[in-house]
Protein backbone atom coordinates (compact mmCIF):
# COMPACT_ATOMS: atom_id res chain seq x y z
CA UNK A 1 0.00 0.00 0.00
CA UNK A 2 1.56 3.22 -1.16
CA UNK A 3 1.31 6.66 0.44
CA UNK A 4 -1.24 7.75 -2.15
CA UNK A 5 -3.41 4.73 -1.33
CA UNK A 6 -3.19 5.34 2.40
CA UNK A 7 -3.98 9.03 2.00
CA UNK A 8 -6.99 8.39 -0.21
CA UNK A 9 -8.32 5.75 2.19
CA UNK A 10 -7.79 8.00 5.19
CA UNK A 11 -9.58 10.86 3.44
CA UNK A 12 -12.52 8.59 2.63
CA UNK A 13 -12.73 7.35 6.22
CA UNK A 14 -12.61 10.92 7.52
CA UNK A 15 -15.10 12.55 5.17
CA UNK A 16 -17.62 9.69 5.23
CA UNK A 17 -19.71 10.95 8.18
CA UNK A 18 -20.14 14.32 6.44
CA UNK A 19 -22.04 12.69 3.58
CA UNK A 20 -25.39 12.08 5.36
CA UNK A 21 -24.98 15.58 6.78
CA UNK A 22 -24.67 17.08 3.29
CA UNK A 23 -27.76 15.20 2.14
CA UNK A 24 -29.80 16.29 5.15
CA UNK A 25 -28.61 19.89 4.82
CA UNK A 26 -29.51 20.00 1.12
CA UNK A 27 -32.93 18.67 1.92
CA UNK A 28 -33.41 21.24 4.66
CA UNK A 29 -32.31 24.14 2.49
CA UNK A 30 -34.52 23.08 -0.41
CA UNK A 31 -37.53 22.81 1.87
CA UNK A 32 -36.85 26.21 3.43
CA UNK A 33 -35.50 25.13 6.78
CA UNK A 34 -32.16 25.76 8.36
CA UNK A 35 -31.51 22.11 9.26
CA UNK A 36 -28.89 20.38 11.36
CA UNK A 37 -25.23 21.22 10.81
CA UNK A 38 -23.39 19.24 8.15
CA UNK A 39 -21.04 17.85 10.78
CA UNK A 40 -23.84 16.63 13.05
CA UNK A 41 -22.88 12.96 12.72
CA UNK A 42 -19.37 13.67 14.04
CA UNK A 43 -20.89 15.18 17.19
CA UNK A 44 -23.25 12.24 17.58
CA UNK A 45 -20.43 9.73 17.18
CA UNK A 46 -18.33 11.57 19.74
CA UNK A 47 -21.20 11.57 22.18
CA UNK A 48 -22.00 7.88 21.69
CA UNK A 49 -18.41 6.72 22.07
CA UNK A 50 -18.27 8.36 25.48
CA UNK A 51 -21.39 6.57 26.66
CA UNK A 52 -21.72 3.06 28.04
CA UNK A 53 -23.54 0.23 26.28
CA UNK A 54 -26.69 -1.51 27.41
CA UNK A 55 -27.14 -5.13 26.42
CA UNK A 56 -30.36 -7.09 26.51
CA UNK A 57 -30.41 -10.22 28.64
CA UNK A 58 -31.47 -12.29 25.63
CA UNK A 59 -28.43 -11.37 23.56
CA UNK A 60 -25.32 -13.45 23.08
CA UNK A 61 -21.89 -12.84 21.64
CA UNK A 62 -23.53 -12.56 18.21
CA UNK A 63 -25.06 -9.23 19.22
CA UNK A 64 -21.72 -7.84 20.39
CA UNK A 65 -19.92 -9.08 17.30
CA UNK A 66 -22.35 -7.57 14.78
CA UNK A 67 -21.18 -3.94 14.83
CA UNK A 68 -17.50 -4.85 14.71
CA UNK A 69 -17.95 -7.18 11.75
CA UNK A 70 -20.14 -4.61 9.98
CA UNK A 71 -17.57 -1.85 10.20
CA UNK A 72 -14.62 -4.17 9.66
CA UNK A 73 -16.07 -5.63 6.48
CA UNK A 74 -16.82 -2.15 5.12
CA UNK A 75 -13.27 -0.96 5.76
CA UNK A 76 -11.99 -4.15 4.12
CA UNK A 77 -14.26 -3.46 1.13
CA UNK A 78 -12.85 0.08 0.90
CA UNK A 79 -9.41 -1.46 0.36
CA UNK A 80 -10.65 -2.89 -2.95
CA UNK A 81 -11.70 0.44 -4.47
CA UNK A 82 -9.30 2.49 -6.58
CA UNK A 83 -9.83 5.60 -4.48
CA UNK A 84 -6.87 7.43 -6.01
CA UNK A 85 -8.35 6.91 -9.45
CA UNK A 86 -5.71 4.42 -10.61
CA UNK A 87 -5.67 1.20 -8.65
CA UNK A 88 -6.72 -0.22 -5.32
CA UNK A 89 -4.46 -1.05 -2.38
CA UNK A 90 -5.60 -4.71 -2.57
CA UNK A 91 -7.00 -5.29 -6.02
CA UNK A 92 -7.07 -8.56 -7.93
CA UNK A 93 -9.02 -10.16 -10.75
CA UNK A 94 -12.57 -10.71 -9.58
CA UNK A 95 -12.21 -8.50 -6.53
CA UNK A 96 -15.65 -7.07 -7.21
CA UNK A 97 -17.04 -10.38 -5.93
CA UNK A 98 -15.14 -9.86 -2.70
CA UNK A 99 -16.46 -6.29 -2.53
CA UNK A 100 -20.08 -7.46 -2.79
CA UNK A 101 -19.34 -10.39 -0.49
CA UNK A 102 -17.99 -8.13 2.22
CA UNK A 103 -21.02 -5.87 2.03
CA UNK A 104 -23.12 -9.03 2.40
CA UNK A 105 -21.01 -10.15 5.37
CA UNK A 106 -21.65 -6.85 7.12
CA UNK A 107 -25.36 -7.16 6.39
CA UNK A 108 -25.44 -10.75 7.68
CA UNK A 109 -23.75 -9.68 10.93
CA UNK A 110 -26.12 -6.76 11.42
CA UNK A 111 -29.22 -8.85 10.67
CA UNK A 112 -28.17 -11.61 13.06
CA UNK A 113 -27.38 -9.07 15.77
CA UNK A 114 -30.87 -7.69 15.31
CA UNK A 115 -32.47 -11.13 15.51
CA UNK A 116 -30.42 -11.90 18.62
CA UNK A 117 -32.48 -9.44 20.65
CA UNK A 118 -35.66 -11.48 20.13
CA UNK A 119 -37.68 -8.33 19.49
CA UNK A 120 -40.33 -8.37 16.82
CA UNK A 121 -39.28 -4.90 15.67
CA UNK A 122 -35.74 -5.96 14.96
CA UNK A 123 -37.10 -9.07 13.30
CA UNK A 124 -39.21 -6.89 11.05
CA UNK A 125 -36.28 -4.69 10.16
CA UNK A 126 -34.07 -7.70 9.51
CA UNK A 127 -36.68 -9.26 7.27
CA UNK A 128 -37.01 -6.08 5.22
CA UNK A 129 -33.27 -5.58 5.02
CA UNK A 130 -32.66 -9.05 3.56
CA UNK A 131 -35.67 -8.72 1.26
CA UNK A 132 -34.60 -5.50 -0.36
CA UNK A 133 -30.95 -6.43 -0.55
CA UNK A 134 -32.00 -9.60 -2.38
CA UNK A 135 -33.10 -7.34 -5.20
CA UNK A 136 -30.23 -4.88 -4.84
CA UNK A 137 -27.43 -7.42 -5.04
CA UNK A 138 -28.26 -8.76 -8.53
CA UNK A 139 -28.64 -5.17 -9.67
CA UNK A 140 -25.17 -4.38 -8.33
CA UNK A 141 -23.73 -7.33 -10.21
CA UNK A 142 -25.48 -6.29 -13.41
CA UNK A 143 -23.82 -2.88 -13.03
CA UNK A 144 -20.49 -4.63 -12.55
CA UNK A 145 -21.17 -6.86 -15.55
CA UNK A 146 -21.90 -3.81 -17.70
CA UNK A 147 -18.66 -2.20 -16.51
CA UNK A 148 -16.74 -5.37 -17.33
CA UNK A 149 -18.18 -5.37 -20.83
CA UNK A 150 -17.46 -1.67 -21.28
CA UNK A 151 -13.91 -1.63 -19.91
CA UNK A 152 -12.79 -5.18 -20.66
CA UNK A 153 -11.41 -5.57 -17.16
CA UNK A 154 -12.76 -7.81 -14.39
CA UNK A 155 -11.32 -5.98 -11.39
CA UNK A 156 -12.53 -2.88 -9.62
CA UNK A 157 -9.18 -1.20 -10.25
CA UNK A 158 -9.76 -1.61 -13.97
CA UNK A 159 -13.48 -0.98 -14.08
CA UNK A 160 -13.19 2.28 -12.17
CA UNK A 161 -9.60 3.15 -13.04
CA UNK A 162 -7.74 3.98 -16.21
CA UNK A 163 -10.01 2.19 -18.77
CA UNK A 164 -13.03 4.25 -17.74
CA UNK A 165 -12.14 7.20 -19.95
CA UNK A 166 -11.86 4.94 -22.99
CA UNK A 167 -15.17 3.32 -22.10
CA UNK A 168 -16.85 6.73 -22.07
CA UNK A 169 -15.56 7.42 -25.56
CA UNK A 170 -17.23 4.37 -27.11
CA UNK A 171 -20.02 3.44 -24.70
CA UNK A 172 -21.20 6.67 -23.16
CA UNK A 173 -24.83 5.59 -23.09
CA UNK A 174 -24.08 2.39 -21.17
CA UNK A 175 -21.78 4.16 -18.76
CA UNK A 176 -24.40 6.76 -17.90
CA UNK A 177 -27.06 4.07 -17.49
CA UNK A 178 -24.75 2.19 -15.11
CA UNK A 179 -24.10 5.36 -13.16
CA UNK A 180 -27.81 5.99 -12.88
CA UNK A 181 -28.44 2.40 -11.80
CA UNK A 182 -25.71 2.68 -9.16
CA UNK A 183 -27.39 5.80 -7.84
CA UNK A 184 -30.68 3.92 -7.42
CA UNK A 185 -28.74 1.22 -5.59
CA UNK A 186 -27.08 3.81 -3.38
CA UNK A 187 -30.49 5.03 -2.33
CA UNK A 188 -31.75 1.49 -1.73
CA UNK A 189 -28.73 0.06 0.06
CA UNK A 190 -28.38 3.05 2.33
CA UNK A 191 -32.05 3.36 3.22
CA UNK A 192 -32.61 6.81 1.76
CA UNK A 193 -35.83 8.30 0.40
CA UNK A 194 -37.68 7.00 -1.68
CA UNK A 195 -36.91 3.53 -0.26
CA UNK A 196 -36.73 4.43 3.40
CA UNK A 197 -36.85 7.62 5.40
CA UNK A 198 -33.91 8.17 7.73
CA UNK A 199 -35.61 11.18 9.26
CA UNK A 200 -38.69 9.52 10.71
CA UNK A 201 -38.77 7.62 13.93
CA UNK A 202 -41.76 5.48 13.26
CA UNK A 203 -40.35 1.98 13.39
CA UNK A 204 -43.01 0.59 11.11
CA UNK A 205 -41.86 2.72 8.21
CA UNK A 206 -38.23 1.91 8.55
CA UNK A 207 -35.86 -0.75 7.43
CA UNK A 208 -32.34 -0.10 8.45
CA UNK A 209 -32.87 2.02 11.55
CA UNK A 210 -35.15 -0.49 13.17
CA UNK A 211 -32.59 -3.32 13.24
CA UNK A 212 -30.37 -1.27 15.51
CA UNK A 213 -33.03 -0.28 18.06
CA UNK A 214 -31.30 -2.17 20.84
CA UNK A 215 -27.77 -1.05 20.05
CA UNK A 216 -26.45 1.71 22.23
CA UNK A 217 -23.31 3.62 23.08
CA UNK A 218 -20.12 2.69 21.24
CA UNK A 219 -21.86 -0.17 19.43
CA UNK A 220 -24.35 2.25 17.93
CA UNK A 221 -21.49 4.57 17.05
CA UNK A 222 -19.85 1.79 15.05
CA UNK A 223 -23.10 1.11 13.21
CA UNK A 224 -23.80 4.76 12.44
CA UNK A 225 -20.27 5.26 11.22
CA UNK A 226 -20.58 2.06 9.20
CA UNK A 227 -23.75 3.33 7.51
CA UNK A 228 -22.00 6.56 6.58
CA UNK A 229 -19.03 4.61 5.25
CA UNK A 230 -21.31 2.40 3.17
CA UNK A 231 -22.88 5.49 1.65
CA UNK A 232 -19.39 6.78 0.90
CA UNK A 233 -18.40 3.45 -0.72
CA UNK A 234 -21.36 3.55 -3.07
CA UNK A 235 -20.63 7.23 -3.67
CA UNK A 236 -17.06 6.30 -4.57
CA UNK A 237 -18.36 3.73 -7.08
CA UNK A 238 -20.48 6.43 -8.73
CA UNK A 239 -17.62 8.92 -8.72
CA UNK A 240 -15.42 6.25 -10.27
CA UNK A 241 -17.88 5.81 -13.14
CA UNK A 242 -18.62 9.47 -13.79
CA UNK A 243 -15.31 11.15 -13.00
CA UNK A 244 -12.42 9.16 -14.48
CA UNK A 245 -9.34 10.67 -12.89
CA UNK A 246 -6.46 8.36 -13.76
CA UNK A 247 -4.70 11.23 -15.53
CA UNK A 248 -4.63 13.45 -12.46
CA UNK A 249 -1.90 13.53 -9.86
CA UNK A 250 -2.77 11.57 -6.72
CA UNK A 251 -3.65 14.58 -4.49
CA UNK A 252 -5.82 16.09 -7.21
CA UNK A 253 -7.52 12.74 -7.79
CA UNK A 254 -8.35 12.47 -4.10
CA UNK A 255 -9.63 16.04 -4.16
CA UNK A 256 -11.90 15.21 -7.07
CA UNK A 257 -13.13 12.17 -5.13
CA UNK A 258 -14.10 14.35 -2.17
CA UNK A 259 -15.79 16.84 -4.49
CA UNK A 260 -17.64 14.04 -6.24
CA UNK A 261 -18.79 12.55 -2.95
CA UNK A 262 -20.13 15.94 -1.93
CA UNK A 263 -22.03 16.15 -5.23
CA UNK A 264 -23.48 12.70 -4.60
CA UNK A 265 -24.57 13.88 -1.17
CA UNK A 266 -26.27 16.91 -2.72
CA UNK A 267 -27.95 14.67 -5.30
CA UNK A 268 -29.28 12.44 -2.54
CA UNK A 269 -30.61 15.52 -0.76
CA UNK A 270 -32.29 16.78 -3.92
CA UNK A 271 -33.96 13.41 -4.50
CA UNK A 272 -35.13 13.34 -0.91
CA UNK A 273 -36.72 16.76 -1.18
CA UNK A 274 -38.56 16.16 -4.45
CA UNK A 275 -39.72 12.57 -3.91
CA UNK A 276 -41.94 10.87 -1.37
CA UNK A 277 -41.17 7.51 0.15
CA UNK A 278 -42.79 4.74 -1.89
CA UNK A 279 -44.86 2.00 -0.31
CA UNK A 280 -42.80 -0.89 1.06
CA UNK A 281 -44.40 -3.31 -1.38
CA UNK A 282 -43.24 -1.13 -4.27
CA UNK A 283 -39.58 -1.09 -3.21
CA UNK A 284 -38.61 -4.30 -5.03
CA UNK A 285 -40.09 -2.87 -8.24
CA UNK A 286 -38.08 0.31 -7.78
CA UNK A 287 -34.84 -1.61 -7.30
CA UNK A 288 -35.69 -3.84 -10.25
CA UNK A 289 -36.11 -0.63 -12.24
CA UNK A 290 -32.53 0.21 -11.32
CA UNK A 291 -31.44 -3.26 -12.38
CA UNK A 292 -33.25 -2.88 -15.71
CA UNK A 293 -31.27 0.31 -16.34
CA UNK A 294 -28.06 -1.67 -15.98
CA UNK A 295 -29.55 -4.45 -18.10
CA UNK A 296 -30.32 -1.91 -20.83
CA UNK A 297 -26.71 -0.76 -20.59
CA UNK A 298 -25.58 -4.35 -21.08
CA UNK A 299 -27.89 -4.80 -24.08
CA UNK A 300 -26.38 -1.72 -25.71
CA UNK A 301 -22.90 -3.15 -25.11
CA UNK A 302 -23.69 -6.61 -26.40
CA UNK A 303 -25.12 -5.21 -29.62
Q: State which of positions 138-197 bind other proteins (CB under 8 A).
A: 138-142, 144-145, 148-149, 152-154, 173, 177
The rounded distance, in Å, linking the Cα atoms of 245 and 264 is 17
| Shorter beta-carbon distance to other proteins: residue 35 or 218 | 218
Give residues 38-67 in contact with other proteins (rule: CB under 8 A): 49-60, 62, 64-65, 67
**Is 284 in contact with 131 (CB distance < 8 Å)?**
yes
Query: Rule CB under 8 A: which of 65-104 touch other proteins?
Result: 65, 67-69, 71-73, 75-76, 79, 90-98, 100-102, 104
Q: Least distance (Å) from other proteins to the CB of residue 269?
A: 22
CB of 181 to other proteins, least distance (A): 11
35 binds other proteins (CB under 8 A): no
Question: Minimum distance from CB of 16 to other proteins (Å)?
Answer: 17
Looking at residue 53, what DSSP letter applies?
Answer: P
Question: Of 196, 203, 1, nearest to 91 (Cα)?
Answer: 1
Q: Residue 152 or residue 251: which is nearer to other proteins going by CB?
A: 152
Among 127, 246, 263, 273, the residue binding other proteins under the rule CB under 8 A is: 127
How many residues are there in the chain? 303
Question: Of residues 137, 189, 196, 209, which one binds other proteins by CB under 8 A?
Answer: 137
What number of chain residues touch other proteins (CB under 8 A)? 98
Q: What is the DSSP string of 75-115?
A: HHHHTTS-TTSS--TT--TTHHHHHHHHHHHHHHHHHHHHH
**In 118-246, alpha helices (H):** 120-151, 156-159, 163-170, 172-189, 208-211, 217-242
Query: Considering the complex, what minimum distance in angstroms separates the CB of residue 2 from other proteins?
Result: 16
Measure CA 108 to chain center.
16
As a whole number of angstroms, the distance between CA 227 and CA 223 comes to 6
Q: Looking only at residues 220 through 279 of this chain, which bind other proteins when binding is defined by CB under 8 A? A: none
Give the contact letters, 10-29, x = binds to other proteins (CB under 8 A), - = no. --------------------
Single out the segment in contact with other proteins by CB under 8 A; choices: 8-16, 40-48, 161-169, 284-292.
284-292
**104: number of Cβ within 10 Å:** 14
CA proximity to 220, closest of 113, 76, 100, 120: 113
In the complex, the smallest distance separating the C-beta of residue 139 from other proteins, rounded to whole angstroms, is 8
Amino acid sequence: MSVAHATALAVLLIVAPALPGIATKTRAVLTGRRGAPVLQLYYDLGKLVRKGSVYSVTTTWVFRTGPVVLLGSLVAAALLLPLDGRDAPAGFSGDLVAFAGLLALGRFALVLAGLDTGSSFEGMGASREVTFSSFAEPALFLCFAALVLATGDASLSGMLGAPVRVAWSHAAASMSLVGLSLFVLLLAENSRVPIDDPATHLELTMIHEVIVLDHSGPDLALILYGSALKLALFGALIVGVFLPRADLAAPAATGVLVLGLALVGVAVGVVESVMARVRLTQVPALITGGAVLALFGIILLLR
